[in-house]
Structure 1
Amino acid sequence: MSEPAFSPSTPINGAVPFDAVLFDCDGTLVESEPITFRVLSDMLHTAGWKITAQEFSELFLGQSVKSRFDLIRSRTTVVDIEAWYLDYRDRRDQALSREVAATPFVRDVVKHLAWHSVRLAVVSASSRSKIALQLDKVGLTGWFGGHIYSGQHSRRNKPWPDVYLEAASLLGVDIRRCAIVEDSPSGVLAGVSAGATVYAYSPSHREPSQCGRLLAAGAKDVFGDMRMLKRLLTGTRMV
């Protein structure tokens, strides 16, 4: 007899109806994207590409800069892309180490989930070193028990589902019993393709069209305040 389909409306872990919650990092756990955009746009402007905030959102949000090397080459005067990238990474990491902050109220959400014995992981398209730098800076590392996964170490990065499937397997949970919290269309696509339930975070300062892109990618719901996430995860909608 086949296993009955998982229904996210049926509680599994106390008040939280999921075995695990997998968080993207940049723009979800930490407010890194304005910092990254400033550093990246400054360097791209110098190299001839006057990138806009909307272009950044559409082309780089949820993607690794390395995955955009061909695009950068085509739009700029950069010749040695590897040397350019190393310079960018150093400038970005210095800025993040000074300025990055946790997303408002995300600590309360993480503590709530841990209290309900929900397994937690960070699953990002970024490098492990960048993830670790940011989580250490904002004091979130300990909540994840070493379950920190980078798509750059998977066979395929987001928007492919590989890194999410790997994370669920190493957590020892069925991906269908996982909720994913993302902030980019590529991340949402990765989570939905893996078979999880995906909730998308899109605060009010984001491009208005971003909400539509997140829903089109398959997000179950879009929310703009981390305090709403606990209610979404338990099936109690805010009114």
Structure 2
Amino acid sequence: RPLASIDAQRGVDANPYTSEEDVRVGGELFASRCSVCHGADGRGDRGPDLTREVYRHGNSDRAIFMNILSGIPNTGMPSVRLSDQEMWQIVAFVRSLRAPAEMAETGNPDAGRELYVRHDCGRCHFVGGEGGRLGPELSTIGWSRSPVHLRASIVDPGGDIEEEFRQVRVVGADGRPTVGVLLNEDSYSVQLLDMAGRLRSFMKSDLEELESPEVSLMPSFAGRLDDTELDDLVAYLSSLRQR
């Protein structure tokens, strides 16, 4: 922003724009600026569920306002260029989304953890100081992804691949392929983390092929888990909110 927010400078704590009209306008702004990550109904997609009673980065009107104004470092939440009134109107709309009571969990997180271990998810995913690095870290995934998004990622992992976890495949002069995730690339070389978690470096001049297939390294669990097991695994992942 070219100038600091006036309301941020003044330390305004309570939302001054809370009328039904403000909520309506806030809903329109939310639909155009926020729904791509938080979902049209605010229940989350790539971004967290906003109908929850508790938010990781603050629950007050001012905290929500500042998160919109400045973004949240080390997350996918960017700063938003809007007037103070428009940001407060989004806050009013977000407040209107909050469910009157916590929705009942449909899955069993303990059973979900057993599934996570049984299917060796820790080979690629890192949780609580343990696991691999071929896939996204999941230690706080319950804060940043909605149950709907988590379920979709399990059933169709290729539907929304984060750029840093795209598959890379190289074939050397000996014809042997190596598959992993890209760590670094320059004009002359490429470095990747292979499926065994080993750092590999190749000179491009020594490669027969270098490609990045639009396919996730993670297999789909559609058909491998029934609905109850999917609910359990999603419940476990949703419970991961380590600070």
- Give your verdict on TM over 0.5: no
Measured against the shorter chain, the TM-score band is under 0.3
Structure with the largest fraction of helix: 1
Larger Rg: 2
Give the TM-score normalised by structure 1: 0.26
